[in-house]
Structure 1
Amino acid sequence: MTTAPAQDAWPDTWPDSGIGPLVDHHCHGVVRHGLDEDGFASYLTESDLPPATGTTFFDSQLGFAVRRWCPPLLGLPAHCPPADYLARRRELGVRKAAELLLRATGIGDFLVDTGLPGDLTTPDELASAAGTRAHEVVRLETLAERAADTSDGHRSFLDSLATAVQEAARTGVGFKSVVAYRYGLDLPPDPPPPGEVRAAADRWLAARAPGGRVRDPVLLRHLLWSAVATGLPLQLHTGFGDPDLRLDRCDPLLLTDFVRAVRPTGCPLVLLHTYPYHRGAAYLANVYPHVFTDVGLALAHTGVRARTVLAETLELAPFGKVLFSTDAYGLPELYLVGARLFTHALGGLLTEWVDEGAWSPGDAARAARLIASGNARRLYGLDSPGPGA
């Protein structure tokens, strides 16, 4: 490849652009059942509440992006009314609509966080629908809660948890923590002493109702350091999400002391989503060799402003430290929109920088390959590109 693709060509020709298939290094499963209009629209927001009276979640950057990119793949004009789109979706059926959308994403590998509850596809089912590959990212808090369900005291709990972490390290490509949701990122940075861990486990197990979440800061620190000990990449939710978190406690800069404490181990830390703190995350990726970053679901939720958000990340983050992800959950549309907005934003930026002489075409193509897939393949040890490479 000797020239950067034209801006408008990137989204539709990405699999054949010379860059190769994308690696979506953080996503979730797709719902297996059909959805009515309200159910569908609920996936277009991070809110866990209905829209305000007289409004709809379709009237958002993400809602407009879905209506721009998805209808043509189901045989409808772009920007068609939501009711028309959902009727066509029902006509095709859940499986067929998912296949049409997922196979058009240009994604060759999905790294799937399996910690969310609900009627969602497994990594294997997602791979089958997309005609490509999927790998598991294991959520630490889910491991702890499953171990607690079968434990009768701190000794059996901690033994079961240690075994579960080691087994997950053999089968998964990385770990994920939602400590940002359960407590916040302003945790003490060092591993908790064993006595504190045992006491915290006893307190939690004694007070825990069946299925109760782990929120104790000592146990959350123990989980983080258990994952660090494996050496596999550790994904950390940062930045915005649903109302279950406090956004002011999700700034990745709050992790600075933890980042410093982890550095001697060499364990890679991957900062997910990061918006609106993406410039701080880019700084951490710039100054610490084991820190990586993405803007994940921020691109889908910022829609036509995705190019600005990505440009702000690329101001400071080294190009070998930035990853692509969709954080898609529930709707196959979200994988398609996440991929289209990413390739459109990246293609537009690189075209602009090449045209003004700031970047050479060869450097633009090389940086695109790194961000789209190469960095993730190196970081997670993916052996070869998925189908379509």
Structure 2
Amino acid sequence: MFIKEIKGDYTMTIDISQLPIIDDHCHPFMPTREKRDFDNCFTLSLIPPKSIDTRNTLLFKMVRKEMISLLQLDPAITDDELIRHRNERYRSNPKAYVDMLFKDIGLESLLVDYGFPVMGSRLSADELDWFHQTSSSVPTRRIHRVEATYHRLFEERVGFEELEELYISELRDEVEHQGAIAFKTVIAYHTGLKMNKISRSQATASYSKFLDTPDDLAAEKDVRDYLVLLAFELCMEYDIPIQMHSGAGDAPMLDVKLSSPLLMHDIVSDPHYQAVKIIFIHTAYPFVEEAGYLVNQYHNVYLDLSSMIPFSSIGVQPKLRQIFEMAPFTKVMYGSDGFNIPEVSWLGGRIIKKELGKFLNDLVEDQLISEDYAYTAAGLVLSENARNLYLRNWDRRTNG
């Protein structure tokens, strides 16, 4: 037990700062994707922000405070000076800078979705090589986004039988040879999470319509639902989880009304699919309470905290309370949704340790849990749940 801080009558006794972290969901970072000024990288919107607005968000104030602490800078430093100092440190020796960030938060591993971004140019071999060399101080483990496979096949306009055959073959190869520990889908971005069970004959007919009329949303939805549920079948066969984008994402590309995890009711309630380990990533933010409820009600449903951490800034603390009103500590995992710049993953690590520590400390103070259990719960969320969930290929590092 450690006495960490005292504010008035409040004594912080739970210190989880030295526990290891596994980042359950993130993306590669590299300078070639850092298209915005540093201060404007802390947003999920595709609409270009204004620096004057970004610098006056609580999230940026948190970034500023934590970076001044990490880099041991004068607290009076201006935002421009801070950003200039950061850029010089990062660009002069990227690996040393990233190693420092990872060591600071006790990062043990990155679970990486290589299908980033949702739309636009894919990551090149040179970009991936740079990312792996720069982040080599920790293992990176591979998550395969299924859309990265079937979108390419859509573009090639292959026939339905070939689409199905190549799709299944590539997903099998990802698990059997490329080291994928999980699949991921961003169907929420395209046709939403209210998926239907589609027969093969219906999918065949809808695919033909979709190729002829790409704006036929009903036909597109049938095809996407069919293909994602095929991935569910492989998840059951290989005993790997599937991460599902839920909640907020890149505005205005994502219609958040279609990304509530509650829309998955028919699928998660189907006894057949209860053998699939489903992880709602991004805490389904802003549908946080709903996600915590589903994790409580369905034995095969899990939740990760990425995107909510760090992007909800001071909202993390009340959101943790909403999640754990019902969700077991054994089914919630830390994640950052880091992308483009390494500081997103680093900031997420700093925030989760501070806010989860405060939350657990309050539970101890209220005599709801013991100090021993507080450390057990912290370990589960920060690393052990991920280690226990991703079993296949866990011992394989990925090379992207």
TM-score interval for Structure 1 and Structure 2 normalised by the shorter chain: 0.7 to 0.9
Evaluate the alpha carbon distance shift between residue 309 and residue 62 of structure 1 in structure 2; reply closer, same or farther with a 3 A threshold.
same
- Residues 15-71 of structure 1: CA distance to partner in whole angstroms, max 9, x if unpaired? x3xx4x1111100011233857x432332112211235x833232232122112123
TM-score w.r.t. length of structure 1: 0.86
Quote the offset at 1:173 in angstroms.
0.6
What is the match of residue 143 of structure 1? 149
Q: Which is further off, 330-339 or 300-309?
A: 300-309
| Amino acid across the alignment from 2:256 | L
Give the equivalent residue in structure 1 for 2:30: 31
More displaced stretch, 359-368 vs 145-154? 145-154
Unaligned runs of 5+ in 1: none
Contact map agreement 1:68 1:79 (CA 8 A) in 2? no
2:81 to 48, 64, 84: 84
SS at match of 2:53: coil
Deviation readout 1:55-112 (Å, 9 max, x if unpaired): 3323223212211212333342457432112211232243143333233222201110
Aligned residue type for 1:346: L
C-alpha distance in 1, partners of 2:4/2:396? 24
Spell out the pairing of 1:126-137 with structure 2 (5 A cutoff).
126=132, 128-129=134-135, 131-137=137-143
Give the Cα separation in 1 of the matches to 2:330 and 2:130.
Answer: 29
Q: 1:160 corresponds to which residue? A: 166
Cα distance in 1, alignment partners of residues 249 and 269 from structure 2: 25
Query: How many angstroms apart in 2 are the aligned matches of 1:342 and 1:10?
Result: 16
Q: Give the whole-Å Cα distance in 2 for the aligned partners of 1:135 and 1:124.
A: 16
Shift of 1:164: 1.0
Structure 2: how far apart are the matches of 1:11 and 1:103?
21
Whichever residue aligns with residue 166 of structure 2, its letter is: S
SS in 2 for 1:174: strand
State the distance in 2 between where 1:278 and 1:181 align. 18
- 1:168-317 residue pairs with structure 2 within 5 A? 168-170=174-176, 171-188=179-196, 190=197, 192-207=198-213, 216-231=220-235, 232-243=240-251, 244-261=253-270, 264-273=273-282, 274-317=284-327
- How many aligned positions are there? 373
**Is the partner of 2:59 in helix, strand or coil?**
helix
TM-score, normalised on structure 2?
0.84
Q: Following the alignment from structure 1 to structure 2, what is the Cα–Cα distance between the partners of residues 326 and 214?
A: 33
What's the CA shift for 1:165? Answer: 1.4
Deviations 1:303-330 (A, max 9, x none): 1231111121111101111111001111
Change (3 A) 1:263 1:298: farther
Taking the aligned partners of 2:396 and 2:366, their CA distance within structure 1 comes to 32
CA shift for structure 1 position 154: 2.0
Q: Which residue of 1 aligns with 2:57?
A: 60
Does the 8 Å CA contact 1:138/1:175 hold for their aligned counterparts?
A: yes
One-letter code of the match for 1:107? L
Asked if structure 2 preserves the Cα contact closer than 8 Å seen for 1:5 and 1:347, the reply is no
Separation in structure 1 between the aligned mates of residue 2 and residue 363 of structure 2, nearest angstrom: 10
Alignment of 1:365-376 (within 5 A): 365-376=375-386
The DSSP-based 3-state class of the residue aligned with 2:265 is helix
Cα deviation digits, residues 222-266 of structure 1 (max 9, x gap): 222122112221111111112211112211111111111265551
Which AA in structure 2 matches 1:25?
D
CA RMSD across the alignment:
3.0
**Structure 2 vs 1, CA of residues 329 and 365 (structure 1 numbering), >3 Å: closer, same or farther?**
same
Letter paired with 1:240: A
Going from structure 1 to structure 2, the CA distance change for 1:361 and 1:75 (only over 3 Å counts) comes to: closer
Q: Report the more deviating stretch, 71-80 or 174-183.
A: 71-80
Q: What residue is the counterpart of 2:110 in the other structure?
A: 110
Task: Tell me: CA distance 1:321–1:214, structure 2 relative to 1, closer, same or farther (3 Å).
Answer: farther
Q: Is the 8 A contact 1:292 1:322 kept in 2?
A: yes
Q: 1:128 to 1:357 in 2, by over 3 A?
A: same
TM-superposed CA distance for 1:119, in Å, is 5.1
Distance 2:279 2:348 in 1: 19
The offset of 1:373, in angstroms, is: 0.9
Go from structure 1 to structure 2 and tell me whether the alpha carbon gap of 1:11 and 1:77 turns closer, same or farther (over 3 Å shift). Answer: farther
Matched to 1:112, the amino acid is V
Q: Structure 2 regions of 5+ residues with no counterpart?
A: 7-11
